[in-house]
Amino acid sequence: MRTQIGIVGAGPAGLVLSHLLHLQKIESVVLEARSRKYIEERIRAGVLEQGTVDLLVETGVGARLKREGLVHHGIELRFNRRGHRIDLYELSGGKAITVYAQQEVIKDLVAARLKAGGQIIFEVSDVSVHGFDGPKPFIRFRRNGQVEELHCDFIAGCDGFHGVCRPSIPASAITDFDYTYPFSWLGILAQAPPSSHELIYCQHERGFALFSMRTPEVSRLYIQVPNDEEIKSWPDDRIWSELQLRSALDGNWKLARGPVLQKNIAGLRSYVAEPMQYGKLFLAGDAAHIVPATGAKGLNLAVADVRILAQALAEFYKSGKTRLLDRYSETCLRRVWKAQRFSWWMTTMLHKFDTDSPFDHHRRIAELDYLTGSRAAMTSLAENYVGLPWD
């Protein structure tokens, strides 16, 4: 088999890339380890930046997102039993975030690619990437028991944090920057209407809690738990009472409860691999970097990377110039590091650390107090949260 761009992974990075390339009349084939059903049901992120929404809408895959996505003009920060609204819309000059589940973005993209005749090969195994340090890269994989090869001009490694592309680059050519936080998030999806119209980030002495949603009938809720915690130690009642305690307010507040549909624990990590390119292999999204979930940036960064990559490839195929391709890693990393900084800042400001001294506690409250009382500080949060300009 032959194509122009061989893409490993049908997550947001791989699918958006394939879609953008198609609009530039560049051919690609996407190889995905999982089934279509699996990737369309995998529960992950839910917050889309303004730029991500605009890109999906402008490129023709945003009709359902426009119809069903929940547009939010603000978020609440809650600490010391008081809520403080950050008016994202006003502070960012008219930008917003949209709550629309990642698996819905995936469904829309898969449908669009297949409708346009795009090739996504699901349930491949034993994927390996070769020849990318020379002129003839190719991807070897197994489909229905048969080994096949996909020859291409470039390989896009969009295979997430545990994929094969990044580890295939010689270790000496990559520098990684890694930080694992000393806590995790226990997340639930609950058949309960959101307790508030907007997301609530709670700082509390018992630990962080986040109130989000998926639809007007389904809530997505998270609490900070220790890293070695097991899900079986968290029966539903314990989760609800912890959510109640961490969101307690002097004033009107009622936590809506309902049947828990799904439960999971995920760690928080900051990771960056530099550079994001080696020869004809380009890494994008989680394959190159991970952010702690607090800033809601993971999916958005993946989309930002492939937007840059698609532009660079389009320039190459139009003019033969490699100017943008050569700058791909540098261009993406500037944005990636800013998202790292923001996600780290939100995480350390809102979570409880076991090592916290009384000084740390007071400093954290002072930071929140300053933030929610200063238009300058809130503006900084707002412009990062709705998404920094593309480049």
Give residues in contact with ligand DHB (CB under 6 A). Answer: 45-47, 199, 210, 212, 220, 293-294, 296
- Within 13 Å of residue 121, how many CA atoms lie on the same side as its CB? 20
Cα 47 from Cα 98, distance rounded (Å): 6
- The token pair that represents 216 in the structure block: 């007007």
Nearest partner of 121 among 101, 149, 102, judged by Cα: 149
Residues in 301-320 at the binding interface with ligand FAD, rule: CB under 6 A: 302
Beta bridge partners of 266: 185
Which of ligand DHB, ligand FAD, none does residue 127 bind to, with CB < 5 to 8 Å depending on kind? ligand FAD
Nearest 5°: phi and psi at 279?
55, -125
C-beta of 345: minimal distance to ligand DHB in Å? 13
CB of 176 to ligand FAD, least distance (A): 16
- State the binding partner of 294 from ligand DHB, ligand FAD, none, CB within 5 to 8 A by kind: ligand DHB
Cβ proximity to ligand DHB: between 221 and 309 the closer is 221
Q: What is the CA radius of gyration of the chain?
A: 21
The widest CA-to-CA distance across the chain, in whole angstroms, is: 66
Adjacent-strand bridge partners of 209: 202, 223
Is the N-terminal amide bond of 12 cis, ω within 30° of 0?
no
* Closest approach of ligand FAD to the CB of residue 100, in Å: 12
Judged by beta carbon, residue 9 or residue 51, the one nearer ligand FAD is 9
Q: Give the binding range for ligand FAD (CB under 6 A) out of 7-15, 78-86, 89-97, 365-373.
A: 7-15
Looking at the Cβ atoms of 166 and 220, the one nearer to ligand DHB is 220
Q: Which does 199 bind (CB under 5 to 8 A by kind): ligand DHB, ligand FAD, none?
A: ligand DHB
80, amino acid identity: N
Sign of CA dihedral 166, 170, 174, 178: positive
Sheet holding 70-72, edge to edge: 47-48, 97-99, 70-72
292 binds ligand FAD (CB under 6 A): no
Amino acid occupying residue 283: L
CB of 346 to ligand DHB, least distance (A): 8
How near is the Cβ of 28 to ligand FAD at its closest, in Å? 14
φ, ψ dihedrals at 38, nearest 5°: -60, -50
Q: How far apart are CA 381 and CA 68, in angstroms?
A: 26
Q: Which does 299 bind (CB under 5 to 8 A by kind): ligand DHB, ligand FAD, none?
A: ligand FAD
Pick out residues in 156-195 that bind ligand FAD (CB under 6 A). 158-160, 163-164
Q: How many chain residues interact with ligand FAD (CB under 6 A)? A: 32
Nearer to ligand DHB, 47 or 165 (CB): 47
- Which among 254, 150, 137 has a CA at the least distance from the CA of 195? 254
Rounded-to-integer distance, Cα 190 and Cα 391, Å: 37
Q: Which of 55, 225, 260, 299 binds ligand FAD (CB under 6 A)?
A: 299
Q: Which is nearer to ligand DHB, 266 or 366 (CB)?
A: 266
Q: Whole-number minimum distance, CB 232 to ligand FAD, in Å? A: 18
Q: Which residues bind ligand FAD (CB under 6 A)?
A: 8-14, 31-34, 39, 44-45, 102, 124, 127, 158-160, 163-164, 266, 285-287, 293, 296-299, 302
